[in-house]
Chains A and B, each alone.
Chain A
């Protein structure tokens, strides 16, 4: 490369944290280039196939760490393409959490009330269905009935799924073949492209350096389209502003690798990682008891036997989401489908060791159709720390796709372990009542704990010692670099985080636009929703001045 490419804004990552700023900046007139490490798949490339090399392994990454493994998106659209589309807003008490630092971890400027208009903006851009009982899968219905039988409530989960198009195939992790999942490929990203943003797939950003004039140079390698262990070239691009949204397991790694050139990073870069307190339990249902105790019948002679049918999580128990309860005792229990091939190895058969392999486990698999997986989201202690970065990307890739070894270390504290124990006990209490099921938690002994919602590895906050970003998402000490993905979320949310990540990204945009303007970029803030709707813009307009530094 003898001439360096220039643009106004480079956005690293095309998930929620990248797509939302990319749209607003492009719509406002900035030149935007989005660098995405994963491929760009069309709807007909989403395959119902567990074979290595299918979309199931092409579009997400499973990174094993020391005590924590992370599942994350790896494609244009990021997490929105592979996620289960649950879009609840975080409960009020979450924003008041104190966590391991013993004082409020969120910036003072962010509460549920101040974030609500930004949540509304996201809801205007991404169609979210408040599911009815007719949308709830058998598995969700079973969980609801079991909760009710145990004297508890249960809620259908709001989801970014067009239920009229959904065929309940439960292949969501491989991407949606039927255009039912309202991923970013249907809203923010095409709108960004329509306004001139350029999305470059298979571009894996390695580091950021300075250009000497206040701008930044983003260095990438291009990745082989089938064997991600191989690179096909490299390059760099200069920008006045960088929006970093590579995902919570990659954003801090890029910054760590950039430290040599950019100077010291805030202490919180690569620290305070949260797995959103996630843990799974498997219940193996007794079909006769499901019919006798809960009165459930599919009408075809089966009571349940429907683990494979549905659309991810459809029902959650939120009784513990009560702000009057002490921290670390609040959690949600959400029914979830988790496909075989990645997770079921971690499910434990009851009885004596070995419980994750061998004869008893094989017998447990014979009852796979009668499994019900319950997903806990507790308040963890932000225990995760990233070690020195690997040679390339955020992991040493083992397989041609999907599987790699990263540098995240996570040693759960007594608070986290205690919260998991509480949630485990409650799952058991609800589902083992009257002989409905046998319940076991997934083991942490093989690949550590396990999260599909990595958070907080580069977080916002008011305290420079325990946060990497200020409350406008700008990286402390490195003006013009903004972080807008899940890594910016200060801690566990007790619910699925996509809606909160998106609302924070929406809220961060005015400040990013202002920073671009200050660097000579001709850009304005004020685009409507991607489909042209304007109610969200009107409702957030009074808040915008509070998000600009004088």
Chain B
């Protein structure tokens, strides 16, 4: 289990990737930049805590490193840091965003590590990779709901009985071969 500092830090990172709405007025991790749930509400930390991802053992190190980068970023840009909160979560949303841009930019020595962390935060939102998809859709998962994923049939499988405009919509290339291939 993550300690509070790590949890808040990773939630703040996830909220930078897919921003959401505050869970309470005191919510420190979620900056509240969006009216609907983001990566945190979608379950980013739950996904990261699942050892199937391969990141679980490194989460405390991730949080420590991110807070170190946040301190350096604050020093560099003359920002005030509140010592009572994890440094990354203490940054305003715009500065969190600026720092994540730096950490994930081509050429940054730690780029691949931060991209990997972002990938899972993002996957929590766009595919609910810690949940059965049918269950997530039924439960109103914030990401799948916002994206408009259709509901599956009663057996949990997707079928689309209507799929085609059903009429010719272009001319095929004149030299198309009998097998339907390019010449």
Contacts and interface: CB of A to CB of B under 8 A. Distances in A.
B52 A53 contact: yes
A89 B126 contact: no
Interface stretch (A142-150, A230-238, A273-281): A142-150
A365 interface: yes
A145 B170 contact: yes
A52 B130 contact: yes
A377 to B, nearest CB: 11
Contacts, number: 217
Given A88-B181, A133-B166, A158-B180, A168 B19 contact: no
Interface string B20-50: 0000000000000110001000000000001
Interface in A66-91: 88-91
A397 B54 contact: yes
Contact of A341 (B123, B132, B146, B150): B123
A209 to B, nearest CB: 31
B89 interface: no
B180 A130 contact: yes
Contact of A366 (B127, B131, B147, B164): B147
Contacts of B174: 153
Contact of B101 (A89, A153, A340, A354): A354
A51 B129 contact: yes
A227 B28 CA distance: 36
Nearest to B38: A362
B164 A134 contact: yes
A339 B127 contact: yes
A495 B173 CA distance: 15
A446 B104 contact: yes
B164 A358 contact: no
B67 interface: no
B122 A345 contact: yes
Contacts of B147: 340, 365-366, 368-369
A320 to B, nearest CB: 10
A145 B101 contact: no
Interface stretch (B68-76, B80-88, B110-118): B110-118
A445 B129 CA distance: 23
Interface string B135-171: 0000000010011111010001111111111111111
A245 interface: no
Contacts of A137: 163-164
B111 to A, nearest CB: 8
B48 to A, nearest CB: 11
> What range describes how many residues of B lie at the interface?
35 or more
B179 A401 contact: no
A310 interface: yes
A171 interface: yes
Contacts of A153: 170-174
A344 B143 CA distance: 12
A162 interface: no
Contact of B163 (A138, A171, A362): A138
Contacts of B156: 48
B31 to A, nearest CB: 10
Contact of B170 (A50, A53, A147, A353): A147
Most chain-A CB neighbours within 10 Å: which of B18, B55, B104, B127? B127
B158 A169 contact: yes
Contacts of B118: 345, 357
Contacts of B133: 48-51
B176 A155 contact: yes
A108 interface: no
Nearest to B159: A167
B163 A309 contact: yes
Contact of A177 (B157, B163, B177): B157
Contacts of B176: 155, 318
A10 to B, nearest CB: 31
Contacts of B104: 445-446
Contact of B179 (A128, A344, A368): A128
Interface in A122-176: 123, 128, 130-131, 133-138, 141, 144-145, 147-148, 152-158, 167-171
A134 to B, nearest CB: 5
Most chain-B CB neighbours within 10 Å: which of A91, A131, A155, A319? A155
B83 to A, nearest CB: 27
B19 A362 contact: yes
A546 interface: no
Contacts of A171: 158
Contacts of A64: 112
A362 B42 CA distance: 13
Given A169-B157, A358-B97, A52 B173 contact: no
A365 B158 contact: no
A353 B98 CA distance: 9
B6 interface: no
A398 interface: yes
15 contacts: A49-B133, A50-B128, A89-B179, A130-B180, A153-B173, A155-B182, A167-B157, A177-B157, A341-B123, A345-B123, A353-B101, A398-B116, A403-B54, A446-B115, A495-B181
Closest 10 CB pairs of A and B: A341-B127, A154-B170, A168-B163, A89-B181, A158-B180, A50-B127, A130-B180, A144-B170, A148-B170, A167-B159
Interface of A: 48-54, 64, 88-92, 119, 123, 128, 130-131, 133-138, 141, 144-145, 147-148, 152-158, 167-171, 177, 229, 296, 298-300, 305-306, 308-310, 315, 318-319, 321, 332, 339-342, 344-345, 353-354, 357-359, 361-362, 365-366, 368-369, 397-401, 403, 405, 445-447, 495, 499
Interface of B: 16-19, 33-34, 38, 50-55, 97, 100-101, 104-106, 112, 115-116, 118-119, 122-123, 125-134, 143, 146-150, 152, 156-174, 176-177, 179-183
Given A145-B165, A308-B149, A361-B18, 20 more contacts: A48-B157, A64-B112, A90-B182, A130-B179, A144-B170, A148-B171, A154-B169, A155-B172, A158-B181, A168-B159, A229-B54, A296-B165, A308-B150, A310-B163, A318-B176, A339-B127, A344-B126, A366-B147, A398-B54, A399-B52
